[in-house]
Amino acid sequence: MENLLEIKNLTVEYHTQGEIVRAVNGLSLSLRQGESLGLVGETGAGKTTTALSILQLVADPPGKIMGGEIFFEGVDLLKTKKSLLRSVRGNKISMIFQDPMTSLNPVYSVGFQIAEVIRLHESCSQEEARRKAGEMLEMVGIPKERYDEYPHQFSGGMKQRVVIAMSVACSPRIILADEPTTALDVTIQAQVLELMNDLKEKLQTSMLLITHDLGVVAQVCDRVAIMYSGEIVEQGTIPEVFDHPAHPYTIGLFGSIPTLSMSSTKLTPIDGQMPDPTELPAGCSFSPRCPYARAECHKEKPGITRIPGEETHELRCFALGWELPDEALMEVIKRGR
């Protein structure tokens, strides 16, 4: 199956006060029709910048896309005309922004804001746009009678449903969901995830889901990509990565998750902090925190390697040529992995 979206060697920098923040460094990703891909990593890994780059929404200045290619339906979005890009935004590719509280305009009704998206991309009358917007509200579980109400009259979970309704109003081929459940409580989070799953199946929409939560990825996604310091360090299908985590950073993430089967009283966090993006290490970006780092890890950048015997499982690490200590793997197993 051909890739619907393909990102090749994307590089994004922020130039501020004489410093260069290297947010995304040679990132490559692909997304197929109807597929959900989870993009996971710590705060500052470059996840949101990656999503914004797809639609060229990186604020310039200070941000600048320095290189790479982003192909959608065979067209490089980084080289296309702005008029064509405007026809893609919200129509073929839509985005659910991180904070539903600030994604809606407080002076317009929620129905008007959904209808505006429909009128912008489809040839229809105001009455037809209003009818379709009402259908979108019903689709996400909000009575269409609330069309004329304003954002302040909705709870956080309801605002997120409105934002989702806006994102699917024109039946886009791709949804970029930037931590859509972070600000919600657990009960509402489960409802929103179920809603997104249902809409994805109904509309056959592909989704790039940005999140910190590996549990959410396991529930919603088909594949997962682990991001660290602007790079993809491991990616593959959910069974490949979740059942056989191979990168020390991925193993560390799983070690930081509590499970019902845990026998220990404390989690095992990853030591240290993510490196300063203005002064990235010469070698592997994770090497200063990696308990298994060798001399070459501090000097050379590892390339992407396919793990033998697995169809899509890829790793950016020198560790593929040698086994991690058995006690480390056993500790992961003991924690319920």
> Does the residue 229 lie in any domain?
no
> Which of 189, 221, 253 is the last residue in one of the domains?
221
Residue showing tokens 């969901």:
177
Contact assessment for residue 5 and residue 34, using Cβ atoms and an 8 Å cutoff: no
Reported as a single tens digit per residue, the pLDDT across 126-140 is: 999 999 999 999 888
User: CA gyration radius for the chain?
Assistant: 21
The band of 335, judged by pLDDT with boundaries at 50, 70 and 90, is very low
Q: How far apart are CA 247 and CA 125, in angstroms?
A: 54
Distance set, CA 64 to CA 1, 23, 33, 334 (Å): 32, 10, 29, 45
Read off the pLDDT of residues 231-290 as tens digits, 9 standing for 90 and up.
Answer: 999 999 999 999 888 899 998 888 877 766 656 667 777 888 889 999 999 899 999 998
List the structure tokens of 169.
Answer: 């109003």
Whether residue 60 is found in the same domain as residue 93: yes
Integer Cα distance of 12 and 5 in angstroms: 18
Q: How far apart are CA 204 and CA 189, in angstroms?
A: 22
Averaged pLDDT, 167-187? 83
Reported pTM? 0.87
CATH number for the domain including 193?
3.40.50.300
| CA dist., res. 303 & res. 68, Å (int) | 17
229 in Cβ contact with 286 (< 8 Å): yes
| 238 belongs to a structural domain | no
With 0-12 / 13-18 / 19 or more C-beta atoms within 10 angstroms meaning exposed / middle / buried, residue 218 is: middle
Instruction: Examine the domain organization and report whether 271 and 145 are in the same domain.
Output: no
pLDDT in tens, 43-65: 889 999 999 999 999 988 899 99
Do 275 and 139 belong to one domain?
Answer: no
- The answer to whether residue 197 sits within a structural domain is yes
Q: In terms of domains, do 191 and 259 share one? A: no
CB count in 10 Å sphere of residue 44: 18
C-alpha closest to that of 38 among 185, 286, 238: 238
pLDDT surpassing 60 at residue 25? yes
Residues 194 and 330 in one domain: no
> How many folded domains does the chain comprise?
2
- Residue 173 sits in the same domain as residue 316: no
230 occurs within a structural domain: no
Q: Quick one: 63 and 155 in the same domain?
A: yes
What confidence category does residue 1 fall into, taking pLDDT thresholds of 50, 70 and 90?
Answer: low
Both 184 and 55 in a single domain?
Answer: yes
Does 233 fall in a domain? no
Q: Quick one: 36 and 181 in the same domain?
A: yes
On whether residue 240 sits in a domain, the answer given is no
Same domain, 328 and 191: no
Secondary structure in 3-state letters for the chain: CCEEEEEEEEEEEEEECCEEEEEEEEEEEEEECCCEEEEECCCCCCHHHHHHHHCCCCCCCCEEEEEEEEEECCEECCCCCHHHHHHHECCCEEEECCCHHHHCCCCCCHHHHHHHHHHHHCCCCHHHHHHHHHHHHHHCCCCHHHCCCCHHHCCHHHHHHHHHHHHHCCCCCEEEEECCCCCCCHHHHHHHHHHHHHHHHHHCCEEEEEECCHHHHHHHCCEEEEEECCEEEEEEEHHHHHHCCCCHHHHHHHHCCCCCCCCCCCCCCCCCCCCCCCCCCCCCCCCCCCCCCCHHHHCCCCCEEECCCCCCCEEECHHHHCCCCHHHHHHHHHCCC
> For residue 323, is it within any domain?
yes
| Domain co-membership, 30 together with 166 | yes
Please state, for a pLDDT cut of 70, what percent of the chain lies above it: 91
- Which of 187, 221, 255 lies at the terminal end of a domain, its last residue? 221
Task: Say if 236 falls within a structural domain.
Answer: no
pLDDT in tens, 293-333: 888 899 999 988 888 878 889 999 987 544 544 455 445 43
Mean pLDDT of the chain: 86
Distance, in Å, from the CA atom of 313 to the CA atom of 305, rounded to the nearest integer, reads 9
Tell whether 150 and 62 lie within a shared domain: yes
Domain that holds residue 305: 245-334
